[in-house]
């Protein structure tokens, strides 16, 4: 008998340029592109994560980090059961922004949302945020912290696998169609979504 499939919505948040799209594409497609195209609005990807007793079907919403799209983010994290808040370990400002996202999620997202903090670009020198500092912050708020490199494919799969294990073993993504409709409306208003379109890898871009 096949495994039960549990559908969950996860949103990727964080400052512009921290690597949200690269992280999402690395996880979903196993690829990396070093050309930066800022995401416009948001971008949708999917991926199945097979666990021992069930399969987590992720609906991944990669959001735009530019400040002018900030207000759109609510639409993406609304009803999300999980959030990855990403920062760039070589950019302190992005760590501060990450903390602002966490506060916003605590205030406005589902109370049961599972928040995970991801420090990306560990392949680079000149870290401005140490693992100790990030872990200290996460410990205080009882959040999981992972360091990754989307570029070198370090730690990326682990992040999504560990989140999958902590999610309920039943679908939480019941408003899928409504959200897709909303997204379509939004795309029409913003003239299309997703800077990853250039990479031609994002399913909705
Ligand atoms: N060295 C290194 N560069 C990375 C890594 N991940 C992403 N980048 C680079 O960082 C830049 C921004 O990556 P994106 O994934 O587009 O960033 P984003 O967070 O989606 O940006 P917005 O869509 O504007 O919010 C690109 O030039 C990537 O190649 C990484 O792990 N290591
Ligand atoms: Mg992006």
Cα dihedral 149/104/195/96 (nearest 10):
-50
What global pTM score does this model have? 0.88
Q: What percent helix, strand, coil does the chain show, rounded to 5?
A: 40, 25, 35
Nearest CA to ligand 1 atom 15: 19
∠ Cα 105 62 17 (to 5°)? 95
Position in ligand 1 atom list of the atom nearest CA 65:
25
Quick check: is 56 in a domain? yes
Ordered per-residue pLDDT tens for the chain, 205 residues: 789 999 999 999 999 999 999 999 999 999 998 887 999 989 999 999 999 999 999 999 999 999 999 999 999 999 999 999 999 999 999 999 999 999 999 999 999 999 999 999 999 999 999 999 999 999 999 999 999 999 999 999 999 999 999 999 999 986 544 445 455 555 544 433 333 333 334 543 4
Alpha helices by DSSP H, listed for the chain, are 20-29, 73-77, 92-108, 131-141, 156-166, 176-190
Quick check: is 185 in a domain? no
Q: Which residues contact 112 (CB under 8 A, 6 or more apart)?
A: 81
Quick check: is 166 in a domain? yes
Quick check: is 105 in a domain? yes
3-state class (DSSP) for residue 40:
coil
Quick check: is 186 in a domain? no
Burial of 22 from C-beta contacts in 10 A (0-12 / 13-18 / 19+): buried
28 lines ligand 1 (CB under 6 A): no
Domain that holds residue 80: 4-170
CA-CA distance, 142 to 181, in Å (whole number)?
34
3-state class (DSSP) for residue 96:
helix
CATH number at residue 125: 3.40.50.300
Quick check: is 183 in a domain? no
User: Ligand 2 is a single-atom ion; what residues have CB below 5 A from it?
Assistant: 20-21, 39
Burial of 1 from C-beta contacts in 10 A (0-12 / 13-18 / 19+): exposed
Number of domains in the chain: 1
* Distance of CA 197 from the midpoint of ligand 2 (Å): 10
20 lines ligand 1 (CB under 6 A): yes
Quick check: is 187 in a domain? no
Quick check: is 131 in a domain? yes
């Amino acid at each position: 008998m096949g495994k039960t499939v549990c559908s969950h919505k996860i949103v990727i948040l964080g400052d512009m340029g921290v690597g949200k799209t690269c992280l999402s594409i690395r996880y979903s497609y196993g690829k990396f592109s070093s050309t930066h195209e800022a995401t416009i609005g948001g971008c949708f990807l999917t991926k199945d994560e097979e666990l021992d007793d069930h399969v987590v079907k992720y609906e991944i919403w990669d959001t735009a980090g530019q400040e002018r799209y900030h207000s759109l983010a609510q639409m993406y994290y609304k009803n999300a059961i999980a959030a990855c808040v990403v920062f760039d370990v070589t950019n302190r400002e992005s760590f501060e922004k990450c903390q602002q996202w966490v506060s916003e999620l605590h205030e406005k997202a589902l109370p049961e949302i599972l928040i995970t903090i991801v420090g990306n670009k560990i392949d680079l020198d000149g870290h401005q945020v140490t693992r100790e500092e990030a872990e200290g912050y996460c410990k205080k708020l009882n959040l999981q912290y992972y360091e990754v490199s989307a570029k070198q494919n370090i730690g990326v799969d682990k992040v999504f696998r560990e989140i999958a294990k902590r999610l309920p073993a039943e679908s939480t993504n019941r408003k899928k169609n409504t959200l897709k409709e909303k997204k379509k409306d939004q795309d029409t208003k913003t003239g299309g979504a997703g800077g990853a379109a250039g990479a031609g890898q994002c399913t909705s871009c």
